[in-house]
Amino acid sequence: MRVWFITGASRGLGALITARALAAGDAVVATARDPAELRARFAEARHFLALPLDVTHEASAREAVAQAVARFGRIDVLVNNAGYGLLGAIEEASGLEVERVFATNVFGLLNVTRGALPQLRKQRSGHIINMSSIGGYSASTGWGIYCATKFSVEAISEALSKEGEPLGIRTTVVEPGYFRTDFLSGGSLQSTAARIDDYAETVGAMRTFAEGADQQQPGDPSKLADAILTLVESTTPPRRLPLGSDTVAAIEQKHQSVSQELAAWRTLATSTDFARGA
């Protein structure tokens, strides 16, 4: 029986992953700012613990991890799922809006991960799954600040994978595309308070697209939850797992664009070394 520790588990993908793990016979420590809904939804689950957790508070993260270990003795899978989106132009985003989204999506993830790592090192085992986005691989108009948080998650995950592998700790960053959750309509997405008319044709168009795309996304959240179960069962999990045909297409498009740009500017790019023998 694996022991899961899942943040942001009260709704959306976090709740689905929690349900799948419990259905698989595993134990789950599910966390949320207010765990009341979790306790009600999974009241009959035998190996289940719902805990309050504000990921932006480091002490709260360490306390939740301690309670999880006290109850189940170990943590096998850590899913850093807590986070939210910010839609707006770079110029439109206020300092406070930027700080808040980074506090949850980046510093919160670090708080929980640092809280869990001593236990994972002690075990010499564990799988950290960091929920990113295609926005963590390829930035889009209107999503610059949100994408910046997810680019950070990608970097943290890649380095952590290399640091943890010799200790038996594996890390995978998951990159979902557009999935039919409440991300675009619920409390998971905020929009900048400021609106600048000069960005109407770019960021304004993205806001209109986001409104129209809600509940029309191509990705099936239920299949994503199944994919996470498949991921943790692998003996050779990848460092990156893109999910969704739109994500795969966006990655391929970016690779092609970067390759073309590198070819066009290769001469200048390689001209800045010292001359051989210098």
- Residue labelled with tokens 């023998």: 277
With tokens 């919160």, the residue in question is 108
* Element spanning 169, H or E: strand 169-176
Which of 150, 157, 161, 199 is labelled catalytic? 150
- The verdict on whether 150 is a catalytic residue reads yes
Spatial CB neighbours of 102, under 8 Å, sequence gap ≥ 6: 148, 149, 152
Which one of 10, 60, 132, 157 is the catalytic residue? 132
- Tokens describing residue 207: 């806001």
Which residue out of 10, 133, 138, 146 is catalytically annotated? 146
Q: What is the radius of gyration, based on Cα positions, of the chain?
A: 20
Does the active-site annotation cover 185?
A: no
* DSSP conformation letters of 102-146: HIIIIIIHHHHHHHHHHHHHHHT-EEEEEE--GGGTS--TT-HHH
Q: Tell me if 150 sits within 8 A of 218, measured CB to CB.
A: no
C-beta separation of 159 from 272 below 8 A: no
For the question of residue 162 being annotated catalytic, the response is no
List active site positions: 132, 146, 150
